[in-house]
Structures are given as structure tokens and as C-alpha cells.
Amino acid sequence: MLSVDSVSASYGNLRVLWDVSMSAEAGEIVSIVGANGAGKSTLLKSIMGLVRTQGGEIVFEGTRVTGVAPHTLVAMGIAYVPEGRRLFPEMTVRENLRMGAPRRCPEVHERLKVVHDLFPVLEERSFQLVTTLSGGEQQMVAIARALMAKPKMLLLDEPSLGLSPIAFEKVIGVIEKINREGVAVLLAEQSSERAMEISDRTYVLENGRVAGSGLSDELLHDPMVRAAYLGVGT
Amino acid sequence: MADRSRVWRFAVGMRNPSQITLLISLFFATVYPLTLSTEGSRVLSVYAVYFMWISLAESWNLVGGYAGLLNLGISAFFALGGVVGALALFDGFPFIISLLLAGFAGAILGVALIPTFRLKSFYFAIATLVVPLVVKPMVEFLGNRADFTVPQTVILTPIGLYYSGLVLAGITIFGAYFLMQSRVGFALRALGDDELASSSLGINVLLYKSIAVLTSGFIASAAGAYYLQIIGTINTTLFQNLNFSLFPIFMVIIGGIGTFEGPVLGAVVFSLINYYVTSQFPGSTVDTFILSLMIIGVAVLLPRGLVSSLHELRKRRTPIPVK
């Protein structure tokens, strides 16, 4: 469904990604784990066309999408939930959700109903400013807003950021539910262990390079990975 | 039918006190000239300046207030509109056509800004500062002069000037209101809030920034062609006249940035204070000093402008029932 082949990216003179290759298939949850600054966010931004890549190519459903504008990618079926949620603070929950739907969208009410079924609390809070919501609820708005585009694949950048373990568990539950409904998920997460537990496959990034990859179950039980990335002694 | 219900929904949406005040003011502004004698109607041309500033402030607000792009060179659009308006009048076009041609020239100048959209906000502001410096010599070269004075015969009568200004300001105000209630307006507000988030949601950043800058350019240039009717002449020094770049910004800050009624209130309040201060200290720079102090004061004490502060005051005074 999505394949990234030898992609590099830089911020000015600082190279952040070095020949990164990865893939995600339809219906999968793929996690990208690694320390702070490993390049997880940059990888998602590169896929989304928010960071210019150097070399390599990105293919989505058989179409080369390297350097394609974000709005075109959204129309093709990729949605992105940025790190830190990036909600529109001056808008209500409903308005934020509305922003996620395409400009001319006759089925906007149906889509709202779908996300309200997924997040009933957001229907109750429809006319509240998003800034009045708790961190967990704000994360739900961010995910729901991305789902308004009816994506085939959802890119999630650090959904655990600033959330209590209980709130994060709720978000994890939602991610699994979305995936069960047929949306592929690419999850970049510092809370590596939990991300690996819910994903099918994992890529481990280190200093902008893929340091390891494989089935999440296997990596979770690999003593070296546990020691190096999950902070668990051998 | 669907369109009618949409217009109705917009219209009934205008129900907060400042919007109602605005509608009432427009009504009185429309009937006011009917109360004047023929001799007394000369005073109407004084109000033309207010309509011009309202249009210019509303135009700046579209880009600076909603889309979050700091345009420091709106004087270029304004002066270009004046020049194009003069050339159109020379060629025998009626006033309304001169206004439209000026507007289109402003929109075309807006197109020239499109390559700068990828710049970060600070650099975009610097780029807009350069626009008047580039356009002025081009206009002087192409027009082969610096002064564009139109004959008195093509200048509107005071009552014509008043009503055309009222229509220009009215179209600008309600145009901005309808635009901001539409999907385009929501996209612009989102862009102004967070460009990365907007972009990742599929909002076509380039398209919406272009809509904002082209619409704003159209209005600012049309206001320039209207200004020509007020003073009868446009000199190319107007391109670099800081007042016309900064005053609209001050007006929007005073009234309330990112609101559609803010620029109207800001334009009226600022123009009144400006008129009072300059008449108290003629020929000195004290007026600039006082106006600058006032802007700093508003920025510190009422950072969201008069309109938002009035809304907050009203909210505070409204009793909230306890369950």
C-alpha cells in the first residue's frame, strides 16, 4: 500500500533521514519507534509532503507520490495527525472536525456521524472551544479530524504526547478500532513498548537510519531490542 | 432555493451586538444625506475618507487578520489602484469601470506575490515591504510621469462620492463577512492559526493564500481608485507613503484583528482620533507621536482589539444560571 524506498531528508545542512526504506500494507498497524530525535516525525512529514526529501521515492497504491503536495495526498487517502495535535484553538470541536473534510463534501454529516460513533464524547462537546477539552479529548479531536477525510491510511505522530497513561490507553483503543474498520495505521511513538504491542510490524529508527525491523511480536521479545530501545535489562 | 436559505442563514447569523450596531449604522449612513439641504450636502465628501479607510482596513484584515500573512506593502496596491483609475478616467471610462479596472490591476499585483507564499511569515512581511519600491519606478517608467491628475469634470459630486463610498464599504464589509462564513473563510482562519496543521488536513495552502491576497489586492486597489475621486490627483510618492501601509494595520489592531466588524470600528475610531489630533497640532509631528502611543497602548491593554474586548465585557456581565 505504502512503500518508502531509500528516502533522505534534511533541515538546512542538518541531515535527519539517511536512506530510510519501509513499507506498510493495507489493514496493518506499523509502528515506528526510536529515541527522541531519531527521525520518526521527519519520516511521517516526508511521506506527507511536509518536508522535502532528497533522493529515493515514496509510492502509495502504485502511484509515485514523492514531492506531491499534502492536499493531493489527503485526497488520495492518506491522513496525518501531527505531533502535539495542532488543533485550531479559536474553533469549536465541530468546526475543527469540519476542517478535516474536503472543501465540497456532500456527505459531511454522515462522516460526522461516523466519528461521533467512534468518539461519543466529541458529539457532546461539539460546540465547545477545543481549548476547553482535556488532553485526551483533544487527541481524540485530532484523530477524528483526520478521519473526516475518510482515509485509507492514517499517520499518527506521537499520540501519547502529554497524555496520562489512562488517556493514552483510550487513544490506543481507538487506534485499534479504526484499524479494525480497515484503515491502515502508521504509528510513530516514543512509548515504544505499547506501540509495538498493538502493531503488526515495527521499524526501529536510530539517528535517522532504520536500525532494525520485523514483526512486532518478535522484536518485543528480542533481548537486544528490549535492552536498547525499551529500557529493559537483559 | 438552497441558495436563498443559505443567504438567510448568513443573515440571521448576524445577531451579536456589534453586528447589529453595524447594520443600524449602515442604515443611518444610507438615509443621512436625505436629511441634508443641497448646500449642506457638501459636507458629505468629508465622510468619503471614512469609507475609503474602512475598505482599506477590511482589505488588509483578509490577509493579515485571517490568513496570518503580514502585508506591510498595501500602499502599493492602493496607489496602483489610483493610477489605473486615473488612466481609465483619461480614456473616458466611467467611474464604476475605473474602480473595477483598478481592482483587477490590484489582483494581478497580488499574483506577483504568489512566489513569496512559501516564505515564513517574517520573510513574507519583508517581501511585501519591497513591493512598493519595485512597483513605483515601473509605474513611473510605463506612465512616463509621476503625477496623475484627472480633470474636474470626471470627479463625482459630493453626494455621488458619498454613496459610491458607502456602496464600496458595504460591499467590502459584507463581502468579507460572507467570505469568512464560507468554507474559504474557515480554511483561511485555519491557515492563520496553524499552516502545518491546515496543510496536513488537505487544505490547499497556495490556493487559499492566493484567494486572500487577490481579493485583498482587488479591494485595496479599488479603494485607491476611490481615493482618486476624493483628492483628484495621484502622485507616485503615494506608493511609499507609510501612512497608507501602516494606518490600515493600526485600524485593524484597534478594532479587532480577524473579525469582520473590527476593521470598521477601528477605521472610524482611528480616523476620528487622527482628525482630532492633526487639527490640534497642525504642521507638527506631535500627532504621529500621540497616534503611536495610542497604538502601543491598545496593543498592551486591548491586544485583541475593541470588538473582542466589548464581547468579553458583555460575557462577563451576563449572569450565568447555576443548576
Condensed to tens digits (0 to 9), the pLDDT of residues A66-111 reads 988 898 999 999 999 988 889 888 889 998 998 888 877 788 888 8
Q: Which residues of A touch B (CB under 8 A)?
A: 48, 50, 69-71, 73-75, 79-80, 82, 86-91, 95, 98-100, 102-104, 145-146, 149
- Sequence spans of domains, chain B: 19-34+42-241
Please, which pLDDT band fits residue B318 given cuts at 50, 70 and 90? low
Q: Percent of chain A having pLDDT more than 90?
A: 28
Look at strands A2-11 and A14-24 and give their pairing: antiparallel
- Sequence spans of domains, chain A: 26-51+69-229
pLDDT at B10: 56
DSSP assignment of A89-123 equals: TTSBHHHHHHHHS-SS-TTHHHHHHHHHHH-HHHH
pLDDT at B321: 62
Radius of gyration for the alpha carbons in chain B, expressed in angstroms and rounded: 20
Q: Are B78 and B218 in contact (CB under 8 A)?
A: no
State the Cα–Cα distance between residues B181 and B64, nearest whole angstrom: 17
- Facing B183 at nearest CB: one of A79, A100, A103: A103
- Facing A86 at nearest CB: one of B187, B194, B202: B194
Chain A CB contacts of B196 under 8 Å are: 50, 82, 86
CATH code: domain A26-51+69-229 is 3.40.50.300
pLDDT 10s digits, B216-243: 999 999 999 999 999 999 999 999 888 8
For helices B95-112 and B121-143, the axis angle rounded to 10 degrees is 130
Range of weakest confidence among A27-36, A99-108, A125-134, B127-136: A99-108
Look at strands A201-206 and A184-189 and give their pairing: unpaired
Residue B36 pLDDT > 90: no
B183 touches chain A (CB under 8 A): yes
Shortest Cα distance, chain B CAs vs residue A94, angstroms: 12
pLDDT 10s digits, A167-189: 888 888 888 988 998 899 999 98
Residue B52 pLDDT > 90: yes
CA distances from B212 to A56, A99, B220, B247, B317 (A): 36, 18, 12, 20, 36
pLDDT at B106: 96
CA pseudo-torsion sign A207, A212, A217, A222:
negative
Q: Are B114 and B212 in contact (CB under 8 A)?
A: no
Residue B137 pLDDT > 80: yes
With 0-12 / 13-18 / 19 or more C-beta atoms within 10 angstroms meaning exposed / middle / buried, residue B20 is exposed
State the Cα–Cα distance between residues B235 and B118, nearest whole angstrom: 33
pLDDT at B193: 84
Look at strands A201-206 and A209-215 and give their pairing: antiparallel
CA pseudo-torsion sign B131, B187, B61, B293:
negative
Chain A CB contacts of B201 under 8 Å are: 74, 79-80, 99-100, 145-146, 149
Q: Quick check: A71 and B202 CB within 8 A?
A: yes
Shortest Cα distance, chain B CAs vs residue A149, angstroms: 8
Please, which pLDDT band fits residue A201 given cuts at 50, 70 and 90? very high
> If you average pLDDT over residues B318-323, what whole number do you get?
60
pLDDT at B2: 46
State the Cα–Cα distance between residues B138 and B260, nearest whole angstrom: 34
Chain B CB contacts of A51 under 8 Å are: none
Residue B107 pLDDT > 90: yes
Residue B323 pLDDT > 60: no
pLDDT at B1: 43
Chain A CB contacts of B311 under 8 Å are: none
A131 vs A12, higher pLDDT: A131
State the Cα–Cα distance between residues B289 and B67, nearest whole angstrom: 30
Q: Which one-letter DSSP state was computed for residue B166? A: H
DSSP assignment of A29-84 equals: EEEEE-STTSSHHHHHHHHTTSS-EESSEEEETTEE-TT--HHHHHHHTEEEE-TT
pLDDT 10s digits, B174-212: 898 888 888 888 889 888 888 888 888 888 888 999 999
Q: For the sheet with A201-206, list strands across it.
A: A78-81, A153-157, A184-189, A29-33, A201-206, A209-215
B230 touches chain A (CB under 8 A): no
Q: Is A183 helix (H, G, I), strand (E, B) or coil?
A: coil
Highest mean pLDDT of the ranges B25-29, B52-56, B258-262, B301-305: B52-56
Shortest Cα distance, chain A CAs vs residue B197, angstroms: 6
Residue B281 pLDDT > 90: no
